[in-house]
Amino acid sequence: MADEQEDVTRQLRQEISTSYPLLLAHLTTSLSLSSNLAPIRSSLSSLSTSLGRLHQKIHVPHEQLAVLVRRLHVLGQASDLTRRASRFVLVAKRLDVQMKRVSEAESGAGEGAKERELAKAALSVAELGESIRYLWKSTDGRCSATSSNS
């Protein structure tokens, strides 16, 4: 076993002696490259820091803006539904007044006044029907409000 160890040691020394100039050239090249890599590492570190700052300046506000745009869209839809609901209430009140006029026309004036008031009431009913169809369509049929005025 000791002989084998000496044999391996001798072969190693011989290999190092013959490859010494090549090994020295590799070592010199490695040291040269190592000294050239230090500024590159520093530049990469600086670039990474700059990238983090840019991410904070651009990506984060963009995400916040996207959230705000989604909220604005939802608010726009809510505003539209509120406007339509207000219009619905207004037309319903107008229809109520028109129906009272029809009742008054039956007891008082001629047939022409009654027909005019009925025509106006029919237009109001049509507008109410259109409002209900829009509401039903815009909520995908998830309308849970039920009317107790039958």
pLDDT tens for 18-77 read 888 888 888 888 888 888 888 888 999 999 999 999 989 999 899 999 999 999 999 999
Rounded Cα gap, residues 145 and 128, in angstroms: 15
For 130, the enclosing helix (H) or strand (E) is: helix 111-138
1-15, 40-54, 104-118: range with highest mean pLDDT: 40-54
Q: Please list, in sequence order, all residues whose beta carbon lies within 8 angstroms of the beta carbon of residue 94, skipping any fewer than 6 positions away.
A: 124
Work out the pLDDT band at 140, boundaries 50, 70, 90: confident
For 101, the token pair is: 């006029």
Q: What percent of the chain has pLDDT over 90?
A: 39
Q: What pLDDT score does 39 carry? A: 87
Q: What pLDDT score does 145 carry? A: 46
Burial zone of 98 (CB within 10 Å; 0-12 exposed, 13-18 middle, 19+ buried) = buried
- pTM, 2 dp: 0.54
Work out the pLDDT band at 141, boundaries 50, 70, 90: low
Q: What pLDDT score does 138 carry? A: 75
Going from N- to C-terminal start, the domains of the chain cover 19-138
> Do residues 136 and 81 make contact, with C-beta atoms less than 8 angstroms apart?
no
Q: Which of 120, 118, 117 is nearest to 91 (CA)?
A: 120
> Do residues 99 and 121 make contact, with C-beta atoms less than 8 angstroms apart?
yes
For 148, the token pair is: 């107790």
